[in-house]
């Protein structure tokens, strides 16, 4: 199981008795967090009292591949010059827990001994200054450790830290390259690896075709039985469905063997295949494998990372594309879909397997899952390469029920409303250089994306109910200027 280290700051001045109490209280808090937070072990590592013990604890966290984050707590005052070297060694996401062993002040009993032992208000500021001075990106969580909103914040931090750890170890497979002439899906793969850890590599589609040709009839029949159980078989063209079953089996093997968490393909490079992977890719996305169409490696990586972040939460997460609008005044809505590849995680109705002609790519009609989408609050997020840095753009959106049936639309779809209103939200996205490919999630919030951006030191533009176009354009100018100064 992955671990989060709990390190408590103190110093030698207070004597052994106080330090023993500090360690005791640290264990109580770490144990309490352990009881309340699943999927990760919170381990009290040490009470650090000087530079050497800081360095040891921070090195230990940085060297432990199971450690995804560090929580630090200043129970007492901890002179922060002793933290400099340690923090310089720390490579894991940091949460500064500004809490106390006590919720209330013992007004009748309080004396200077109590004050000396319980002084996070004092010690947290000294430590916080050093983090700011060193430019350490961290999350500060304030409040009594048993309060549920405090626990909720720590849980969110751990979800994001786990996603950052996942990102550092993510392999992305590109079948073919970026769609010819398309700009926003492209990017600097070397920089992506330096900054986020993504190992993005190209494979000829023929490498996958070899796996497709090796799929047996028994494997295909088992997969068809699975489809029949999960979905409505709304086609007589079972051969077309079997073709996608082969693709799913082959993709599963290829990606598992290569330890890939995400992949891309492109309809311009399907040599040896009869169809564009539709149903097959939808199935892979439902397993949490990231996908980006048209060679969009950035969105495929982001898709996998956000699925990891959303693990254990309610809601849907997947690759998406802004396609077309309903411009009815006051009832504007975005229709999001793709040619085929929409994750069944978004399904609000039992998906139907259908086979239809695809007007692009010049291949046989592909099988795909068709369904209506879920409703609820969510985010749409994209990553663009601005040349001298990556930018994340996050829109707060509301997924809504489609106003009318769309009986002739042969593809899964979701619909959503923009904030603060359609015109402002869409213009803001376009001013920010936002892509047509996104990851949409109803499991994640703007706060999660903000934290991910902070911990990965990525520029972020948020579009929400407070967005004002004039201020946004000023913000974008500032961001351009800051990037030039760096
Ligand atoms: Mn696309």
Residue 298 CA to ligand 1 centre (angstroms)? 13
**Mean pLDDT, rounded, of the chain:** 97
pLDDT at 5: 98
| Phi, psi for residue 367 in degrees, rounded to 5 | -80, 145
Across 373-471, the runs of DSSP E, i.e. the strands, are 376-385, 390-400, 414-417, 437-441, 459-463
Residue 438 CA to ligand 1 centre (angstroms)? 10
Residue 391 CA to ligand 1 centre (angstroms)? 19
Residue 192 CA to ligand 1 centre (angstroms)? 21
Q: Tokens 């070297």 identify what position?
A: 85
How far apart CA 307 and CA 312 sit, in angstroms, is 10
Closest CA to 195 of 23, 390, 39: 390
Residue 32 CA to ligand 1 centre (angstroms)? 46
- Contact 349/371 with Cβ under 8 angstroms? yes
Is the confidence at residue 361, as pLDDT, over 90?
no
Residue 400 CA to ligand 1 centre (angstroms)? 22
Residue 159 CA to ligand 1 centre (angstroms)? 28
How far apart CA 213 and CA 263 sit, in angstroms, is 20
Is the confidence at residue 340, as pLDDT, over 90?
yes
Residue 436 CA to ligand 1 centre (angstroms)? 7
Residue 136 CA to ligand 1 centre (angstroms)? 37
How far apart CA 352 and CA 460 sit, in angstroms, is 38
Residue 357 CA to ligand 1 centre (angstroms)? 17
Across 33-66, the runs of DSSP E, i.e. the strands, are 41-48
Residues near ion ligand 1 (CB < 5 Å) are 293-294, 321
pLDDT at 463: 99
DSSP 61-110: HHH-TTEEEEEEEESS---GGGGHHHHHH--S-EEEEE--S-SS--TTT-
Query: To the nearest whole percent, how much of the chain has pLDDT over 90?
Result: 98
3-class secondary structure, 337: coil
- Give pLDDT tens digits for 290-314: 999 999 999 999 999 999 999 999 9
- Contact 401/257 with Cβ under 8 angstroms? no
Q: How much of the chain is helix, strand and coil, in % rounded to 5? A: 40, 25, 35
Residue 106 CA to ligand 1 centre (angstroms)? 61
Residue 118 CA to ligand 1 centre (angstroms)? 56
Residue 295 CA to ligand 1 centre (angstroms)? 9
- Give pLDDT tens digits for 344-359: 999 999 999 999 999 8
Residue 323 CA to ligand 1 centre (angstroms)? 9
Residue 285 CA to ligand 1 centre (angstroms)? 15
- Give pLDDT tens digits for 162-207: 999 999 999 999 999 999 999 999 999 999 999 999 999 999 999 9
Residue 292 CA to ligand 1 centre (angstroms)? 8
Residue 322 CA to ligand 1 centre (angstroms)? 9
H-assigned helices in 310-458: 422-431, 446-455
CA distances from 339 to 16, 131, 446 (A): 67, 47, 27
Residue 281 CA to ligand 1 centre (angstroms)? 14
How far apart CA 468 and CA 156 sit, in angstroms, is 28
Residue 333 CA to ligand 1 centre (angstroms)? 19
pLDDT at 455: 98
Query: To the nearest whole percent, how much of the chain has pLDDT over 70?
Result: 100
Residue 41 CA to ligand 1 centre (angstroms)? 40
Torsion, Cα 463 312 36 28, to 10 degrees, reads -90
- Contact 133/251 with Cβ under 8 angstroms? no
pLDDT at 486: 86
Residue 230 CA to ligand 1 centre (angstroms)? 27
pLDDT at 362: 85
Residue 294 CA to ligand 1 centre (angstroms)? 6
Residue 296 CA to ligand 1 centre (angstroms)? 8
Residue 302 CA to ligand 1 centre (angstroms)? 15
- Give pLDDT tens digits for 51-65: 999 999 999 999 999
Length of the chain: 486
> Strand 3-9's sheet: what is its strand order?
41-48, 3-9, 67-74, 94-98, 138-142
How far apart CA 135 and CA 442 sit, in angstroms, is 32
Residue 410 CA to ligand 1 centre (angstroms)? 16
Residue 328 CA to ligand 1 centre (angstroms)? 25
pLDDT at 359: 85
- Give pLDDT tens digits for 130-160: 999 999 999 999 999 999 999 999 999 999 9
Residue 319 CA to ligand 1 centre (angstroms)? 10
> Strand 352-355's sheet: what is its strand order?
232-233, 352-355, 367-370
Please list, in sequence order, all residues whose beta carbon lies within 8 angstroms of the beta carbon of residue 281, skipping any fewer than 6 positions away.
Answer: 247, 251, 265, 291, 340, 341
pLDDT at 360: 84
- Helix H or strand E encompassing 336: strand 333-336
Residue 454 CA to ligand 1 centre (angstroms)? 28
CA distances from 69 to 83, 134, 139, 161, 294 (A): 17, 18, 11, 6, 35
Closest CA to 53 of 24, 19, 27, 29: 19
H-assigned helices in 231-355: 238-257, 279-286, 297-309
Residue 293 CA to ligand 1 centre (angstroms)? 5
């Amino acid at each position: 199981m992955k671990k989060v280290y709990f390190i408590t700051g103190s110093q030698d001045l207070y004597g052994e008795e106080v330090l023993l109490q500090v360690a005791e209280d640290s264990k109580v808090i770490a144990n309490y967090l352990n009881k309340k937070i699943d999927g990760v072990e919170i381990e009290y590592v040490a009470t650090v009292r000087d530079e050497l013990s800081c360095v040891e604890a921070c090195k230990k966290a940085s060297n432990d591949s199971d450690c995804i984050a560090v929580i630090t707590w200043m129970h007492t005052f901890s002179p922060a010059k002793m933290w400099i070297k340690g923090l310089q060694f720390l490579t894991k996401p940091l949460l500064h827990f500004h809490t106390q062993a006590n919720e209330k002040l013992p007004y009748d009993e309080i004396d200077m001994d109590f004050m000396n032992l319980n002084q996070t208000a004092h010690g947290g500021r000294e430590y916080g200054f050093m983090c700011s001075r060193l430019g350490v990106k961290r999350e500060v969580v304030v409040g009594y450790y048993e309060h549920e909103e405090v626990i909720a914040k720590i849980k969110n931090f751990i979800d994001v830290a786990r996603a950052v750890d996942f990102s550092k170890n993510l392999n992305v497979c590109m079948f073919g390259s970026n769609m010819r002439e398309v700009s926003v899906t492209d990017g600097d793969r070397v920089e992506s690896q330096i900054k986020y850890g993504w190992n993005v590599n190209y494979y000829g589609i023929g490498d996958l075709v070899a796996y497709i040709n090796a799929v047996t009839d028994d494997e295909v029949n088992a997969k068809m039985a699975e489809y029949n159980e999960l979905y409505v078989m709304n086609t007589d063209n079972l051969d077309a469905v079997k073709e996608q079953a082969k693709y799913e089996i082959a993709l599963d093997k290829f990606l598992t063997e290569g330890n890939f968490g995400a992949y891309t393909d492109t309809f311009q490079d399907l040599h040896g295949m009869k169809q564009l992977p539709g149903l097959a890719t939808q199935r892979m996305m439902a397993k949490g494998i990231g996908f980006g169409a048209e060679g969009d490696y950035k969105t495929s990586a982001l898709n996998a990372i956000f699925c990891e972040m959303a693990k254990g939460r309610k809601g849907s997460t997947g690759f998406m594309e802004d396609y077309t609008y309903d411009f009815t005044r006051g009832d504007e809505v975005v229709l999001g879909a793709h040619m085929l590849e929409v994750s069944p995680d978004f399904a609000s109705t039992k998906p139907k397997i259908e086979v239809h002609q695809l007007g692009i790519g010049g291949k046989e009609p592909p099988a795909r899952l068709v369904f209506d989408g879920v409703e609820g609050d969510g985010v749409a997020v994209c990553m663009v390469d601005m040349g001298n840095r990556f930018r994340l753009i996050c829109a707060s959106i509301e997924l809504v029920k489609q106003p009318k049936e769309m009986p002739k639309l042969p593809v899964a779809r979701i619909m959503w409303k923009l904030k603060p209103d359609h015109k402002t939200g869409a213009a803001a996205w376009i001013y920010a250089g936002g892509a047509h490919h996104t990851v949409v999630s109803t499991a994640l919030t703007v706060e999660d994306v903000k934290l991910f951006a902070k911990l990965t030191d990525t520029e972020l533009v948020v579009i929400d109910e407070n967005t004002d176009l004039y201020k946004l354009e000023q913000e974008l100018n500032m961001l351009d200027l800051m990037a030039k100064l760096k």
